[in-house]
Amino acid sequence: MGIQMILNAKAVYGVPVKIYTQDVDEESLIQLRKMAQLQFVHSHIAVMPDVHVGKGATVGSVVPTKNAIIPATVGVDIGCGMNALRLSLKAAQLPDNLSALRNAIERKVPVGFEMHKQIKAKASTLSPLDKQLQVITRKHPALTRMLRHFNSTWQKQLGTLGGGNHFIELCVDENQDVWIMLHSGSRGLGNVIGTYFIERAKKEAQHRFGHVPDKDLSYFAEGSTSFDDYVEAVAWAQHYAYENRREMMRLVLEAIRPLLPSFQMTKEAINCHHNYVQKETHFGEEVYVTRKGAIRAGLGEYGIIPGSMGAQSFIVRGKGNPESFCSCSHGAGRKMSRSKAKQVFSQQDLIAQTNGIECRKDKSVVDEIPAAYKDIQHVMANQQDLIEVVHTLKQVLCVKG
């Protein structure tokens, strides 16, 4: 299926919103209509089939802008994304009971609010990050006051999972090959950078391109000092998120090796963002493309689309569809809020819906119950014009924050 809904802006100025599903909540439609009124949006806004309302901007939106960036559209989990790696193991080589593997991973990789007691990342990883961060904090010293024990915290959080919908999984594909798949972002400092610049944009209230219909859509105009500083800071956070996933993958491999037959990593390895901004060329113009809950799916590019903790996930290859700005969904997408999920579902529901999966099944993760998410099969059916499936994965083990 292709585009299923088009919102035509009714304001004095506006661009169309092209949506790859009919399953869109009213709050998201309101957010999208407001965003479509911005004069610096290029061509149209593309909305992926996992769309749902988000803080500041709609999750699943792909927003190309000329000469401006909206920090709230990138969000606070800057660089959040996926990492997947296929191993030379078959499902039959996994132990019948996976609890020891899960415990080993949880001992190696801190989850939730936890961090490493000592810095784990190598100096070759930390040094360039630290050097660039010092440039940023010299210009914006307030950042250092927004994170407790600033310098040690960001370094000790490198290689940690975080909470919410972040996860580490062992999966098995259609060929019975074993994969490691994980989902995380730029941790506490990414959140601080996002929050700081979102509030700065609201305070500065730049109006070079006219009034904005919502404070959450406050932007930085290209050529301003704040624009340059934000581009620099967001690039740092995206780099940090990428390295965080790499470090976690290294630690997961260390954790599971002693408990499994000898294995090698294959060449199939993917590390991709789904909350980020970068400069690209679309419809003949160089623009800043912000993907909030969407991954790049350029022609031949590989990506990862996870389902919920009880559903299938997919390794995909992009078709380079220009109408989606070479993008596709970043997952299944929530169909109810975390608070509502906790009201509607019980611990027993969680146990039933994660039957056969080695994972936490306590009350504190009920908000991540599979039924709180959209049907991943329906989401995938709605984006056949955007990607092709290369591998279908099913988790057998899941670590949650």
Given a cut of 90, whether residue 25 has pLDDT beyond it is yes
Q: Name the maximum alpha-carbon separation found in the chain.
A: 65
Predicted confidence at residue 205, as pLDDT, reads 85
Given a cut of 90, whether residue 13 has pLDDT beyond it is no
Amino acid at 394: K
Given a cut of 90, whether residue 115 has pLDDT beyond it is yes
Lowest-pLDDT choice from 167-181, 205-219, 226-240: 205-219
Report the share of the chain in percent with pLDDT over 90: 93
pLDDT band at 11 (very low <50, low <70, confident <90, very high): low
Mind giving me the DSSP string for 81-125? EEEEEEEEEEGGGS-S--HHHHHHHHHHS--TT---SS--S-HHH
Report the share of the chain in percent with pLDDT over 70: 99
Select which of 44, 330, 378, 391 is catalytic. Answer: 330
Rounded to an integer, the average pLDDT of 305-309 is 94
Given a cut of 60, whether residue 248 has pLDDT beyond it is yes
Predicted confidence at residue 6, as pLDDT, reads 93
Q: What is the average pLDDT value for the chain, to the nearest integer?
A: 95
Q: Which residue segments constitute the domains of the chain, with CATH numbers given? A: 5-335+373-400 (3.90.1860.10), 339-372 (no CATH)
Given a cut of 80, whether residue 300 has pLDDT beyond it is yes
Annotated binding site for GMP: 165-169, 274-275, 306-309, 313, 330-333, 400
Q: What CA–CA distance (Å, rounded) separates 171 from 308?
A: 13
Rounded to an integer, the average pLDDT of 371-388 is 96
Given a cut of 60, whether residue 12 has pLDDT beyond it is no
Claim: this prediction has a pTM higher than 0.75 = yes
Annotated binding site for Mn(2+): 77, 166, 183, 274
Predicted confidence at residue 21, as pLDDT, reads 97
Q: What CA–CA distance (Å, rounded) separates 337 from 334?
A: 7
Q: What CA–CA distance (Å, rounded) separates 92 from 177?
A: 9
330 belongs to the catalytic site: yes
Predicted confidence at residue 96, as pLDDT, reads 96
Predicted confidence at residue 120, as pLDDT, reads 92
pLDDT band at 268 (very low <50, low <70, confident <90, very high): confident
Predicted confidence at residue 55, as pLDDT, reads 87
Given a cut of 70, whether residue 10 has pLDDT beyond it is no
